């Protein structure tokens, strides 16, 4: 999600607003909803957290559509959402986090003793 947020901010900075919205939509659907993060947030954190995160991302997309946000506003909004996600992840048991289906993630260090 963080990577997609950075890509969205960079696209916005380059005035590629459609790409910025596409990265945000991809973060929302591919990285948040389709990886089961949404289910874990609903199950293990207080009510409303999932809705707040999704609404915040959609609000940024809408503000880009309506040309009602500048780069600083977008970056501040993205930082705020990342903080929310980090905070809710702290409430989810580690045993549940391992069930996430994150594409491209390969935990090569799992079980290794350093």
DSSP string, 36-60: THHHHHHHHS-TTHHHHHHHHHHHH
Give the pLDDT score at 112. Answer: 45
Q: Per-residue pLDDT averaged across 21-39, rounded?
A: 93
Mean pLDDT, all residues of the chain: 89
Dihedral sign, Cα of residue 88, residue 91, residue 96, residue 97: positive
In this predicted model, what pLDDT tens digit does every residue of 70-113 receive, in sequence order?
999 999 999 999 999 999 999 999 888 887 755 544 444 444 44
pLDDT in tens, 59-71: 999 999 999 999 9
**78 and 38 in contact (C-beta within 8 Å)?**
no
Collapsed DSSP state (helix, strand, coil) of residue 74: helix
The confidence score (pLDDT) of residue 102 equals: 57
End-to-end CA distance of the chain: 28
Determine the average pLDDT of the residues in 32-61: 93
């Amino acid at each position: 999600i963080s990577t997609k947020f950075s890509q969205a901010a960079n696209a916005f900075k380059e005035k590629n607003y459609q790409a910025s919205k596409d990265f945000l939509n991809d973060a929302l659907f591919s990285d948040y909803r389709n990886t089961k993060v949404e289910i874990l947030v609903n199950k293990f954190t207080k009510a409303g957290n999932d809705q707040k995160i999704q609404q915040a991302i959609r609000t940024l997309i809408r503000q880009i559509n309506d040309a009602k946000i500048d780069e600083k506003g977008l970056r501040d909004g993205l930082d705020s959402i990342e903080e929310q996600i980090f905070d809710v992840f702290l409430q989810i048991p580690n045993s549940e986090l391992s069930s996430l289906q994150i594409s491209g993630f390969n935990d090569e260090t799992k079980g290794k003793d350093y």
